[in-house]
Amino acid sequence: MGVIRTDQWLQEEFDRPSRICEKLLPYFKGQKANEIYSLLMDFGMYRPSRAAKINLNNMLENKAWDKVDRLYSKYKNKWNGPDVPIFLFPLAQAGGFFFIREEKSKAGVSFPDKMFLFLSHYEDPKEIEALLVHEYHHVCRLRMLNKKMEDYTLLDSIVIEGLAEYAVLKNCGREYLAKWCRMYTDKELSNFWEKYLKNQLNKKKNERRHDELLYGGGRVPKLLGYAAGYNIIRKFYESHNYSTKLSFTIPAGKFIE
């Protein structure tokens, strides 16, 4: 599968994203096009606007589809990963919910059987590699764990994010880590762990508290779950050998023993 040529869809239906999402119906069983669009907007998909059109033109000019396809082939072979469809769309304007890697130039969301990348103008192509590494690591781990999405806990989510960003460190370098990796000191994270996370790790993905603690907001420190996850994984690998393939399968609880 690999990269789906959404550039053709976008050139035909840019102003009607719900029509574009009709083409995604085979990949989202039982969901309607407007539900798919709403879900993808939460993670960074564009709304029709002048800024989004500029993002699309940048993607076309930079041959983003070809570049992502080459990167996908590289990591699929390197990790012996699953063959999934990858969809590229322009990124929405800043200010929405999508801060998954806390970068204004890109965002993404992954499922066990598909991956979405939302792009805009970027000066360093390595940024796109960092995004793909993060999201494709998610795909590989979700696929290997093979759990129902509603069975994932806050600990699962924290570890998944930490592992994906640690893969960025290993494959792209420290300078490509997301900002949330260095948002808090070790001491702050230790305090936050005791105050917010330690007794909430079994919260399920469909519980409101799960997202409040993972993403932060309100009284909860911003992107707390992400920052804590990276810190846990970083510390774990200070005393353990890193193996990409094992990082897809090690149970989440092992990282906090």
Strand order in the sheet with 106-111: 2-3, 85-90, 114-119, 106-111
**Total length of the chain:** 257
Last residue of a domain, one of 145, 175, 191: 145
Query: Are 40 and 136 in a shared domain?
Result: yes
Q: What is the number of structural domains in the chain? A: 2
13, 137: one domain: yes
Q: Last residue of some domain: 145, 175, 210?
A: 145
Whole-number Å distance between alpha carbons of 86 and 102: 21
Same domain, 6 and 128: yes
- 107, 124, 145 - which closes a domain: 145
Q: What pairing do the DSSP bridges indicate for beta strands 106-111 and 2-3? A: unpaired
Query: According to the model, what pLDDT value does residue 100 have?
Result: 47
Residues 103 and 185 in one domain: no
pLDDT of residue 104: 55
Query: Do 117 and 88 meet the contact criterion of CB atoms below 8 Å apart?
Result: yes
Are 128 and 9 contained in the same domain? Answer: yes
Rounded Cα distance between 32 and 41, Å, is 14
- Within this chain, do residues 185 and 134 fall inside the same structural domain, yes or no? no
Q: Are residues 225 and 133 in the same domain?
A: no
The residues, ordered by sequence, that sit 6+ positions from 98 with a Cβ below 8 Å of its Cβ are 42, 43, 44, 91, 92, 107, 118
Torsion of CA 33, 34, 39, 44, to 10 degrees: 100
> Whole-prediction pTM value?
0.93
Both structure tokens of 209 = 């508290």
User: What is the Cα 248 distance to its own chain's centre?
Assistant: 15
pLDDT at 149 (0 to 100)? 87
Identify whether residues 70 and 28 lie together within a single domain. Answer: yes
Residue with tokens 């609880």: 253
Range of the domain at 251: 151-256
Are residues 104 and 201 both part of a single domain?
A: no
In DSSP notation, the chain reads: -EE--HHHHHHHHTT-HHHHHHTTGGGSTT--HHHHHHHHHHTTB--SSHHHHHHHHHHHHTTHHHHHHHHHHHHHHHHT----EEEEEEBPPTTSS--SS--TTEEEEEETTEEEEEE---S-THHHHHHHHHHHHHHHHHHHH---GGG-BHHHHHHHHHHHHHHHHHHH-GGGS-GGGGSS-HHHHHHHIIIIITTTTT-BTTSHHHHHHHH-BTTBPTTHHHHHHHHHHHHHTTSS---HHHHTTS-GGGGG-
Check whether residue 140 and residue 166 sit in a common domain: no
The reported pLDDT for the residue numbered 110 is 95
pLDDT at 105: 65
Q: Do both 28 and 96 map to the same domain?
A: yes
Place of tokens 């001491």: 187
| 132 and 10 together in one domain | yes
Q: Which regions in the chain score pLDDT beneath 70? A: 94-105
Give yes or no for a contact between 107 and 44, defined as CB atoms under 8 angstroms apart.
yes
- Position 117 scores a pLDDT of 96
Please check whether residue 164 is in contact with residue 134, taking contact to mean a CB–CB distance below 8 angstroms: yes
